[in-house]
Structure 1
């Protein structure tokens, strides 16, 4: 066995990893872990075989022998720990699923711990996203113990790294599925994971999965949540390698680290359902006739339309779209006479602003003013709904955007509107994350001071609360100048609100502490001035006492110059020079004329006249920090040997120069302050103009979109109108042709029905239609041609005329005159032919229907000849003709055809 073991140990590690004997594999895993631990860096050759063949770890993690598997997963942990990010990314896809299925579900505690550590190392070396993506499919495994192990691994990931490093949204989406699992262990692990999410996200996690739980499960979860509500906000317990590197590069002082921790805590608390939810498109779900329903005369229909809109908009996150028409409709509903409609509209505005957030800012100018105007309602339910809508509008925008309208409505004549606006302003100041600028603070304070003088106590208290809240944001020192002129009672009340106010805005004026440092330096220079005065007192003894009094007067301007030196840019840097030159002055004061030759300079001879008594004044000038002042003082030292002319020159020489320079510095300071104020105001004005231009741009974009849609609609209408016009023209042409045809038919019918006297007897029956009334074709048996022509033409004209009016008159004429009058053939072939044969040549020929009737009448009388009955037959024919004309006129009147 010993020889075999030696042979096995001589094999390369990759070969031993795949050996048939489990003891050889186990020994190989142990040797690999030891080699990894002693490598100097992640680029060592020991890692190369496992980077080139990542599949080796697949066999190690899923080793069939539990003892060898334990060492294999431990070797993987060592490889990840010392191998760096490349080892993580290359082996992750081969091992993660097996670590959960084979490692976390193992019966050995050491194997479970190593598998969990390996999963956490995969996240530490890279990011959490790929690891979670690999673990989520395992939740669908058929074995409950594997599903429970996966949930436990996810819980460990979020516990150690938190929801900022590991995105909770993918897991929250599938969390309801484990809650419905049949195995109790799976449900228990799901509960632990949900509690861990609650530690980080609080109530923001509920909209993602809460509605899919059973009521009993919700009650159990609420009980679990109550247990962790009192715990402090969780912190990230394990850092990524990238975070560790950033902390190593960061400066060591702990102040910055403390600030970062506080910021991390605040960010963890700020996570809400909006950040976790996916945007939903709700514009397409809004009813197409929403605007028409809002314009209904019945308040019930308007309220129903708003309720339907609320159901569509009430989602955690809304995808940005064109909500201009909806916003205008909601703003119009704020003026509705029915308070139920107003309340429902306010709720719609609330959910719309809550779901859109920043994109809602372009609709703020449309909606905010109508809401503030409606604050006059005294009913609590309406005012609460309006207040909630205003709060969401503010959260979706900023204090700068809303402040102008708020201050405008603080001047409203209605006390109810003024009170509601004041409360809204207080809520804005408490919830804003950005402190107002100095111009904004000035305008807020000015409006609040006016509220302090109101006759209503609520408004006075509100004004004090506004000032106290602003003081909490800006600080007592910054608010001091604004409170000047107020009586002590009001100041006391403002301070009470200041002490109890809770704000979220961070004070912007943090640079002032840096400005305070240079101020402290001149303050330190003040005692140096006093020290300089003491040697000056020692020098004046040779001079008269009045000069000694002038000596302390000389430093007074320098004491005034201290504030000027604070504002001068180079002054702080010169603070080191006074310390060097101060001893020089003392030596000059002691020896007197010993030092002058050494300190002489081209500029000093000009100022040698001043006496040494003025030397104490220069030290503060030196402390203020310019080399020029130091040189002038050195020049004064050589002038010390002439004590006789000491006092007159100082008052007119160096002191005047110092004062002139001091005045220049003060003028420069004032000029710079004015320029700074002007630039600040200009910047504020430009910011407001930029914001106004943004709003105008958004409005123009909206108007352009609306115009484009309107143009497209008009084009569509125009195309339809053109097609309708063409169809109408075609129909008019058809009707016109039909009318002409009817006119021709009527003309022919009238000609057929005209009396015989109107016909021209001189025309031949074969060439003209008027010849049908001649007797040549009717009674002359010998003239067959004329009779045939008459019969053919009469039959054609009469049939064409009656066929056009068949639908309206055929039934009536059939009932009255019988079928024979409509069929000229009957008159030719039947009894009408007999009558025509017996008639004389010179008698006029009646129309076919008249001749047929006449033939019937003559046949009834039993007489064949037309001589005795001729007159009576013509009378009856005239009656029939007049009746037919009347029918034709009625028919024409019924169809609206005018006689040509």
Structure 2
């Protein structure tokens, strides 16, 4: 048995790795692990067989014997730990897949632990992308145990390296399938992985997979997320090999420590949904009739258009394309009369700005001004949507791009527009990551000062907040000149906002010892070996060498001592030129080191590079130098001079290009201002036209109402005229019929009338005057018009003109005529006039009623008139008698 073991140990490693006996394989794994641990460096020969044949690890980690497999995984970890990056690059393509399939789900804890360590080492030596790509196929394994182990490995990878090293996008894409698995262990591991990703990504991860989960799963995940929300931003627990080298090389530098603090400060800016998502081409999904619906006169069609667009572009990331027509249509919607259309259009602009990011910058000028003009809307929902659209537009551009429009609308006459623009500027100052330039800061401060003098308290507070936020960005000292002329009350208010402000961009003072050329002499410190005695003259040099800024800017900050002056005096000694043939500086004779003549080396020192070389000709050339080694004779100096000329030419070209761009910018600015003025004039003209049209419409409505009233009046008058005509015609016909009986009343006596009266009434009256009916008729001056007057009264009663009921035997009917009023033409007035006329006396209305005036013929001038009236009454009586006969059927 011992002989057999000796034979196995003498076999080459590849043969032992593939031996049929598992003990031989196990022993081979143990042997190589020991060799790797004892290797002095990565170039040791023990690594060479496995670099030449990486497939050895494929069969080793998938060993059928569990004990041998455990040793193989341990050996792989040692190989990666001591072998370096090349070992990982050549091995990961063949070793990771069998580790995922055979080792991660092993029942032995040592195998599982070493498998995870091997995966972490693969990432540590290079990057995480290829490793995660090899691990993800394990999620499609048919065995649930292997899927759960793969999810656990991914969780450990994310936990150790974080989402800045590990790209979470492919993992997030695979999560929904894991949540849909039937095995509860797989779902539990998927939940753990989702929680770990949430620690790094927060809400940005949800758009990638949240919609594919069931409501119950979403609820459970939300409960798990609540537990980790209180935790701070996680930190990377395991560094890559490259990060370790950087940390070791820059461990003690103060400046690097500050940079590290800045990186930690910027670390909370976690990955957002835009960085995780893949760009989607939404232009193909936009309805083809979008523009037609948007231009429709019906607000429901316009709202349907913007709602359809919102559903299409509601994605985390949008692929750039030709959105010009859509952007212009949404900008026009800002002037829509329907607030629902305005709100939805603003939300569409927000989604486009967030989905396109920098690509949306070219559309800023199209949408920003219409949005700011609509800030006059007082409804809170509309104002919030407009503000969110402005914020998204700012995020896609920069503060410098938006300042011009902001300053223009800060002077708007509408207080709502001014206040909305002010709030937008404050939000921009809080969120910008770039410190504004000094001219921009001056303009912002000037605008804030103007707001301090506004009548509205909100605008005054906004001006103070603007100045306080700017002070937070640039500091109190730099802000002092911009606060001149303000009273103490306003300064106190600004200081309060300064203390409460939170900004992302802060002006950091530049370090004073910033010149980099100090590194050039430091690298040449090795040149101090030629002569130690040279340090003595260096001590006397400081009085004569104040221009030597390179030595004064040393990182150590020491005075000009011999130790640091050695690089400056490297060419003084005779041995300096011999030991450093690259130097083109002058070589002094050996007896000259003692005199204090250090200026010549300053002309030679700048030969280290363009950054440390002065652009002027060396002034110290006239110092006593041998003519056989002039500084310009160096070939390196000629190359540098040529490069310098090229740089100067390029600089001139860039300067000219910048000047052209500035001129073009100023031209465009003037054109924009002209267009703004034209737009303002057109708006004023439009407003005047609208007002005039409204005034004309009002006049037209009034004229129509007047015309209708006139038509009604004319119709009423026409009916009255027709009625009067009918009444007149009746009266004329009655008068004509009464004329036929004029000769009768001369022959009829009072007795005849009394007989007629007794015939129809059954009452015998002795005299003509005693017949009451006849007397009444004879006493009425207008009895012949009684029937026509009754007809008139009936017509007036139908037309609503008769204000009181009438009796045909009342004094009003007998003495009134055709008038029903109680004025001058009233019946009482007519009765009094008639009584006075007939009696010739001024009797009162009471006496007239007690004793009616007789209508029988009397002596005097009015006798004929009385007889005529009696004839009229007689004719009327006869007519009535005939009517009564016909009615009573009397022959």
Aligned to 2:207: 207
Aligned to 1:506: 506
Aligned to 1:108: 108
Contact 2:552 2:559 in 1 (8 A): no
Alpha-carbon distance in 2 for matches of 1:441, 1:128: 44
Aligned to 2:295: 295
Distance 1:112 1:571, change over 3 A: closer
How far 1:86 sits from its partner (Å)? 2.1
Aligned to 1:391: 391
Matched ranges for 1:111-260 at <5 A: 111-250=111-250, 252-253=252-253, 255-257=255-257, 259-260=259-260
Distance 1:65 1:694, change over 3 A: farther
Contact 2:551 2:560 in 1 (8 A): no
How far 1:256 sits from its partner (Å)? 1.9
How far 1:289 sits from its partner (Å)? 2.4
CA displacement 1:350-399 (0-9 Å, x = unmatched): 11111111011111111100100110011101101100100001001000
Alpha-carbon distance in 1 for matches of 2:53, 2:671: 59
How far 1:90 sits from its partner (Å)? 1.9
Q: Which runs of 5+ in 1 are unaligned?
A: 516-565, 581-598, 602-680, 699-900
Contact 1:233 1:269 in 2 (8 A): no
How far 1:424 sits from its partner (Å)? 0.4
Alpha-carbon distance in 1 for matches of 2:668, 2:280: 26
Matched ranges for 1:695-844 at <5 A: none
Q: Secondary structure at 1:278's aligned position in 2?
A: coil
Aligned to 1:451: 451
Distance 1:122 1:220, change over 3 A: same
Alpha-carbon distance in 1 for matches of 2:207, 2:275: 11
Size of the alignment, in residue pairs? 553
TM-score (normalised: structure 1): 0.58
Alpha-carbon distance in 1 for matches of 2:191, 2:668: 48
Aligned to 2:88: 88
Alpha-carbon distance in 1 for matches of 2:106, 2:361: 55
Distance 1:108 1:505, change over 3 A: same
Aligned to 2:28: 28
Contact 2:200 2:270 in 1 (8 A): no
Q: Alpha carbon RMSD of aligned pairs, Å?
A: 3.3
Alpha-carbon distance in 2 for matches of 1:259, 1:346: 40
Alpha-carbon distance in 1 for matches of 2:305, 2:183: 46
Aligned to 1:284: 284
Alpha-carbon distance in 2 for matches of 1:182, 1:87: 39
Q: Does residue 351 of structure 1 match 2:345?
A: no
CA displacement 1:821-850 (0-9 Å, x = unmatched): xxxxxxxxxxxxxxxxxxxxxxxxxxxxxx
Contact 1:200 1:268 in 2 (8 A): no
Distance 1:248 1:514, change over 3 A: closer
Alpha-carbon distance in 2 for matches of 1:483, 1:569: 37
Deviates more, 1:505-514 or 1:198-207: 505-514
CA displacement 1:327-358 (0-9 Å, x = unmatched): 11111111111111111111111111111110
Aligned to 1:314: 314
CA displacement 1:546-574 (0-9 Å, x = unmatched): xxxxxxxxxxxxxxxxxxxx999899789
Distance 1:344 1:576, change over 3 A: closer
Alpha-carbon distance in 1 for matches of 2:311, 2:290: 13
Q: Secondary structure at 2:182's aligned position in 1?
A: coil
Q: Does residue 328 of structure 1 match 2:299?
A: no
CA displacement 1:172-224 (0-9 Å, x = unmatched): 11110000101111111111110111111110000000111111111111111
Of structures 1 and 2, the one scoring higher in RCO (CA 8 A, sep 6+) is 1
How far 1:464 sits from its partner (Å)? 0.3
Q: Secondary structure at 2:84's aligned position in 1?
A: helix
Aligned to 1:487: 487
Q: Secondary structure at 1:480's aligned position in 2?
A: helix
Contact 1:362 1:695 in 2 (8 A): no
Distance 1:171 1:72, change over 3 A: same
Matched ranges for 1:620-659 at <5 A: none
Distance 1:94 1:348, change over 3 A: same
Aligned to 1:375: 375
Alpha-carbon distance in 2 for matches of 1:318, 1:35: 54
Aligned to 1:647: none
How far 1:246 sits from its partner (Å)? 2.8
How far 1:250 sits from its partner (Å)? 2.9
Q: Secondary structure at 1:390's aligned position in 2?
A: helix
Q: Does residue 52 of structure 1 match 2:58?
A: no
CA displacement 1:110-163 (0-9 Å, x = unmatched): 111111111111111121111111111111111011001100111111111111
How far 1:508 sits from its partner (Å)? 5.0
Alpha-carbon distance in 1 for matches of 2:509, 2:258: 20
Q: Secondary structure at 2:269's aligned position in 1?
A: helix
Distance 1:121 1:691, change over 3 A: farther
Contact 2:333 2:341 in 1 (8 A): yes
Distance 1:292 1:239, change over 3 A: same
Contact 2:179 2:186 in 1 (8 A): yes
Aligned to 1:407: 407
Alpha-carbon distance in 2 for matches of 1:172, 1:600: 73
Q: Which runs of 5+ in 2 are unaligned?
A: 516-545, 563-594, 598-654, 673-891
Distance 1:237 1:262, change over 3 A: farther
Alpha-carbon distance in 2 for matches of 1:507, 1:19: 68
Contact 1:81 1:121 in 2 (8 A): yes
Distance 1:573 1:389, change over 3 A: closer
TM-score (normalised: structure 2): 0.59
Alpha-carbon distance in 2 for matches of 1:164, 1:600: 58
Q: Secondary structure at 2:238's aligned position in 1?
A: coil
CA displacement 1:435-480 (0-9 Å, x = unmatched): 1110000000001000001111000000000000000000001001
Alpha-carbon distance in 2 for matches of 1:146, 1:216: 25
Distance 1:84 1:573, change over 3 A: closer
Alpha-carbon distance in 1 for matches of 2:668, 2:17: 66
Aligned to 2:438: 438
Aligned to 2:4: 4
CA displacement 1:492-531 (0-9 Å, x = unmatched): 110000000000113154357969xxxxxxxxxxxxxxxx
Contact 1:316 1:355 in 2 (8 A): yes
Alpha-carbon distance in 1 for matches of 2:278, 2:460: 45
Distance 1:404 1:98, change over 3 A: same
Aligned to 1:741: none
CA displacement 1:261-289 (0-9 Å, x = unmatched): 54256345331000011111112222222
Distance 1:262 1:578, change over 3 A: closer
